[in-house]
């Protein structure tokens, strides 16, 4: 049985990035995404595990523990920048997961119209401000859905989040069945 792990970035004690205008937090966006993807995986009969339900969002240490034994593990995040115009989708992972990262990012971009950052969406864990990422080191993928600091990208998220989640879930369903 293939298990897909989906986790929400940050935790109940760490809100992550915050949109300056709306005050929407990264942690709230990532919980929504995790819950919506879980809905689609459940509907498709895919075995999955998460770091919580509703607004429960466990710590990174707990999320990392869930990776073991998973065929795929994805943690959802939002990028943020001091430049309000920064935009795009990317996934950080080990090189072995490059193709899956690219498929996940294409799925998001197909709904949002956003650009793919890095190598068609893929970034190694040491890209940009990152040096070592525990979730990636443990074999997981960090999917940066959009820039929460970009009001236009946040508006697209709010308008199309169920479609974004469905597109990501379809990639994960395909992966679970492969």
pLDDT digits (tens, 9 = 90+) for 11-62: 888 899 999 999 999 999 999 999 999 999 999 999 999 999 999 888 889 9
Q: 139, 11 in Cβ contact below 8 A?
A: no
pLDDT band at residue 79 using 50, 70 and 90 as cut-offs = very high
Note the pLDDT of residue 59.
86
Distance of CA 147 to the CA centre of its chain: 12
Domain 3-177 fold is Aminopeptidase (3.40.630)
What is the CB-side half-sphere exposure of residue 6 using CA atoms within 13 A?
26
pTM over 0.75: yes
Note the pLDDT of residue 149.
96
Please name the residues in contact with 128: beta carbons below 8 A apart, sequence gap of 6 or more.
none
Residue 133 CB neighbour total at 10 angstroms: 19
pLDDT band at residue 133 using 50, 70 and 90 as cut-offs = confident
The domain limits of the chain are: 3-177
């Amino acid at each position: 049985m293939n298990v897909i792990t989906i986790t929400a970035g940050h935790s109940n004690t760490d809100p992550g990035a915050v949109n300056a205008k709306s005050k929407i937090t990264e942690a709230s966006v990532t919980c929504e995404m995790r819950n919506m993807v879980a809905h689609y995986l459940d509907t498709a009969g895919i075995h999955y595990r998460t770091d919580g339900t509703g607004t429960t969002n466990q710590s990174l240490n707990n999320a990392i523990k869930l990776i073991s034994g998973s065929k795929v593990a994805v943690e959802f995040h939002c990028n943020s920048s001091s430049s309000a115009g920064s935009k795009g989708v990317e996934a950080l992972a080990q090189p072995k997961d490059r193709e899956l990262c690219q498929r996940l990012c294409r799925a998001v971009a197909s709904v949002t119209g956003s650009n793919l950052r890095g190598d068609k969406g893929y970034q190694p864990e040491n890209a940009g401000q990152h040096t070592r990422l525990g979730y990636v080191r443990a074999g997981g993928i960090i999917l940066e859905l959009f820039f929460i600091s970009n009001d236009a990208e946040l508006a697209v998220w709010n308008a199309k989040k169920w479609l974004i989640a469905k597109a990501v879930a379809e990639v994960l369903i395909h992966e679970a069945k492969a």
